[in-house]
Structure 1
Amino acid sequence: MSKKIIPYNPALKALARKLRKNMTDGELLLWDELKNDKLLGFDFDRQRFIDNYIVDFYCKDLMLAIEIDGMSHNYQEAFNKDELRQQKLESFGIQFLRFSESEMKTDMFNVMRTI
């Protein structure tokens, strides 16, 4: 089985690096659960650039993107942008899981169970 090649914008590399250095509390909590192939041996990247977007976490083998939505995602404009972005990435065959920042802090057991 050959891996699907998904385009990316190399201009996003510096921004992705900056986002990795400034992760939210929820992102840090989830990264602690995903790094070093802790989740059933799957390799996750954080702040991965795909097409013209950056997703919080991505597993290439599962073609799974995980997004942690903070307060800024509660507004209609941000919701609409998220929706378009998710549809575009899903067109490449990527599946999405979304969790709230508060879920990371209060319900990590069920977050990990869902993943």
Structure 2
Amino acid sequence: MLKVPHFDVPSSNRRNARRMRRQMTDTELRFWNAVRAHRLDGLGFRRQLPIAGYIADFACPALRLVVEIDGAGHTEDRMIRKDAERDRRLRELDWSVLRLSNEDVERRLDEVCTHILRIAAGRRNTSLHDTPPSVTS
């Protein structure tokens, strides 16, 4: 069994993550309902999880897999640069980041879930005997 990493999170990030959980977008809620409906059974996804100073939309700590659901604002140059920096930082900490558009989730949710299961299987196979390091934010 994979060990879930421990996260030291500042209280301000924890409060912000709680607020974001209560204010999920319709698309994030649709994805979360698919996760909870066991389409991604057994992966242990968490929503709005603080990691390394960021708050991931969805994350599977045991597999170090982040799923980001991006709206139209993420196509602007400033956001593209911010997302690239965030993804780089998370990859340095051995997290895989999967970015999905709102349209992907809205129109192809079953395919999205199948794709995530494939990625998770690959991460699980390469991480079976590894213990992920603790991450601080």
Q: TM-score, normalised by structure 1?
A: 0.90
d(CA) in 2 for partners of 1:114 and 1:87?
A: 22
d(CA) in 2 for partners of 1:10 and 1:90?
A: 24
Contact kept? 2:3, 2:62, Cα under 8 Å: no
d(CA) in 1 for partners of 2:3 and 2:55?
A: 24
Contact kept? 1:35, 1:43, Cα under 8 Å: no
Identity %: 31
User: Please, which runs of 5 or more residues in structure 2 have no aligned partner?
Assistant: 117-137
Q: Give 2:53's aligned residue.
A: 52
**1:59-74 paired onto structure 2 within 5 Å:** 59-74=60-75
Rg larger in 1 or in 2?
Answer: 2
RMSD: 1.8
Contact kept? 1:9, 1:51, Cα under 8 Å: no
1:39 CA drift (Å): 1.4
1:37 CA drift (Å): 5.7
SS of residue in 1 equivalent to 2:43: coil
Greater shift after overlay, 8-17 or 73-82? 8-17
User: Please, which runs of 5 or more residues in structure 1 have no aligned partner?
Assistant: none
d(CA) in 2 for partners of 1:18 and 1:3?
A: 24
Higher RCO (C-alpha under 8 Å, 6+ residues apart): 2
Q: Count matched residues.
A: 115
SS of residue in 1 equivalent to 2:40: coil
Q: TM-score, normalised by structure 2?
A: 0.76
1:57-86 Cα distance to aligned partner (Å, 9 max, x none): 011111100000001111000010000011
